[in-house]
Chains A and B, each alone.
Chain A
Amino acid sequence: MIISSKLIKILIHMILIFIGLIWIFPFIWMILGSLKTNTEFMISGNPIPDGFNWENYSRAWIDANFSAYFLNTVIMTVATVIIVVFLCSLTGYALGRVDFPGKKTILGIVVGIMFIPKGYTIIPLYELVDQLGLTNSLFGIILAESSGAHTLFVLLFTSYFATLPKEMEEAAIMDGCGFVKTFFKVMLPLAKPIMATTVIMQFIWTWSSFLIPTVLTISKPELRTLAVGMQNFVGQYSTDWAGMAAGATISLLPVLIVFILMQRYFIEGVAGAVKQ
């Protein structure tokens, strides 16, 4: 379709830019606010800070414990991403390239699980992690975060591996590679685009995860992640607005940067979800 009139085009651009500014206003507010002093925050309506008050960041990082939250979030996210990529690529490879009895059933379960009413699974998950004795480390959270059928990723890997030419595999076998070596040396490196999509999407999901880390760290403040630790600013630190803005910036900047750099893969994954 083509929009022909030049005037209309300019008008559309103006509207899109105006709404776009409102759209990212909360982020601009947050970043500018993180550089203000608290009195400036209270009194001045001017969105631009008078100077750069970096001490908001040191207050959030050290006093409000965001250094620990940040480290916990990074460990939780990276470990979960690695586990999920590992699980999904293996499953996708088996489903996409090998004919074996029960394959249809497994594919059916992977898709069908989306339609089962789940109940409140966080309670049993919490009990399970407790029984396994993992409540004292991030490992319990990582395990809980890796749960799920990962339907989208498994299907993406399955259909990608299924389209790779047979000759690639045959050549690898000729060279003396077994099943496992063929997968790791030849086939998995070819699936880089799907890996990228899985990594980016899972990274953003896990980084933003809230319910699981909230529940699993109820009595373990030292294991809290950024999303959970941020809630401290609602209670006892509620007057420290600039510190809150600095904490929010620390929490959101990594995920925003990852998205802006790698958005192609993320958007392809989202578009893939609706096609599946």
Chain B
Amino acid sequence: MARKNSNLSKSIKSRQMWAYIFILPQAIVFLLLSLYPIVMSYVYSFYSWDGASPLTDFVGFENYTELFYSSRFWGALVSTIIYMFGTTILGVGASLVLAIILNANNMKGKAFYRTIYFIPVVATTAIIGVVMKNIFGVDGSVNQLIQSVGLTEKPIPWLNTSTLAMTLLIVVGTWKNLGINMIYWLSGLQSIPAELYESAQLDGAGFWKTLYHITLPLLKPILLVILLLSVVSGMNAFDLVKTLTNGNPYHTTETLDLYVFNYAFGGGMTGSTTRMGYASAAGVMLGMFTLLISGIFGLITMYYQKREKKEASR
């Protein structure tokens, strides 16, 4: 008996050992390529550093105070927030309408529409940016079209006016990600039990009544998840901004991600020196803003869940 026990514990020990060995590769990759860069991005932010010379010039919070007084930095934050709000409000709302239509039981061609509306999601953003830049260029297809039908005489400078350029970024960004939000909504809609709809139908509730009293209230928990994901992706918009407007005209569409990139790696293009330490500080600030905004959303979620629990227990 004792021997059997020791055999058993030996085999458990060996299983556990193998479990650690199985986790080891991912752990090494994680420590070396994820955790170490995160820690170092904080460390660099306290140095004045060009990226090439040794890391010796410790400056404390100087990079952060300089950021605080940089109007270009605050401008980039404002652009980021405008882009984030624009894509979130447009994208989350429109995708819900689309998902409700596609979720209707007797809709034909569901899979077809789902594929069509999802295609932009998988298309490489950096390529889309270049294509859109051409379509919306001064003599691009959109201007050719609106001029040929006589809407305007002069071409519209989509990319050379700051408001239009920002609007274009938001529209293209929304177009690009709508499919993802649609799938999120569909998965939420499919988790609503069919019996609820059946009993609503028996009670004689029509489409709008069912929507208002059953569908929308039950989607509330998933709404907050979708908002959160949309906000985080809106805060970190690099590929599209870099390739479509590159922050132009005059940095007015420069988002924080692009601001950081320009200070870290744009030196060669603008002739100024690269400022890795300063860029790292800006990157840390971007991470903080993202955390702050998602934290606010998290708190709202918790507040709603608590309130609903209270109402349910009453």
Contacts and interface: CB of A to CB of B under 8 A. Distances in A.
A146 interface: yes
A1 B105 contact: yes
Contacts of A47: 141
B109 interface: yes
A20 B186 CA distance: 18
Contact of B135 (A26, A95, A128): A26
A255 interface: yes
A56 B236 CA distance: 35
Interface stretch (B26-34, B72-80, B85-93): B26-34
A35 interface: no
A260 interface: yes
A274 B226 contact: yes
A271 B124 contact: no
B33 A244 contact: no
Given A118-B38, A120-B283, A274-B226, A24 B119 contact: yes
A252 B265 CA distance: 27
Contacts of A192: none
A119 B33 contact: no
A94 interface: yes
Contacts of A13: 108-109
A193 to B, nearest CB: 16
B5 to A, nearest CB: 17
Contacts of B280: 119-120, 123
Q: SS class of chain A's interface: helix, strand, loop or mixed?
A: helix
Interface in A88-130: 88, 90-91, 93-95, 98-101, 103, 106, 113, 115-125, 127-128
A48 to B, nearest CB: 13
Nearest to A271: B187
- Residue of B26, B32, B280 ringed by the most chain A CB atoms within 10 A: B26
B300 interface: no
A274 B222 contact: yes
A252 B36 CA distance: 34
Interface in B252-281: 260-261, 264-265, 268, 276, 279-280
Nearest to B282: A120
B287 A88 contact: no
Nearest to A5: B207
- Chain A, interface size category, equals 35 or more
Contacts of B243: 210, 231, 234
B83 interface: no
B51 interface: yes
A193 B31 CA distance: 28
Nearest to B290: A117
Contacts of B282: 120
Given A3-B106, A128-B33, A270-B184, A252 B291 contact: no
Given A3-B104, A124-B36, A150-B26, A119 B283 contact: yes
A135 B252 CA distance: 34
A233 B23 contact: no
Interface string A130-169: 0000000000000110111110001000000000000000
Contact of A26 (B45, B131, B188, B226): B131
Interface stretch (B13-21, B150-158, B162-170, B306-314): B13-21
B294 to A, nearest CB: 8
Contacts of A124: 36-37, 40-41, 44
A192 to B, nearest CB: 19
Contacts of A233: 130
Interface in A43-98: 45, 47, 86-88, 90-91, 93-95, 98
A149 B30 contact: yes
B118 interface: yes
Contacts of A260: 115
Contacts of B108: 13
B260 A120 contact: yes
A106 B141 CA distance: 53
Contacts of A7: none
Given A123-B276, A234-B133, A117 B287 contact: yes
B126 A115 contact: no
Given A23-B175, A29-B131, A208 B41 contact: no
Nearest to A228: B126
A12 interface: yes
Nearest to B263: A120
Contacts of A270: 180, 183-184
Given A1-B104, A147-B34, A274-B222, A230 B45 contact: no
B26 A154 contact: yes
Nearest to B194: A1
B18 A255 contact: no
Contacts of B14: 179
B159 to A, nearest CB: 12
A163 B14 CA distance: 22
Which 5 A/B pairs are nearest by Cβ-Cβ distance? A120-B283, A119-B41, A117-B287, A147-B33, A124-B40
11 contacts: A1-B105, A20-B113, A24-B119, A45-B144, A88-B26, A116-B287, A120-B282, A121-B34, A125-B33, A270-B183, A271-B184
Given A210-B126, A273-B229, 5 more contacts: A1-B211, A12-B107, A16-B101, A23-B175, A245-B134
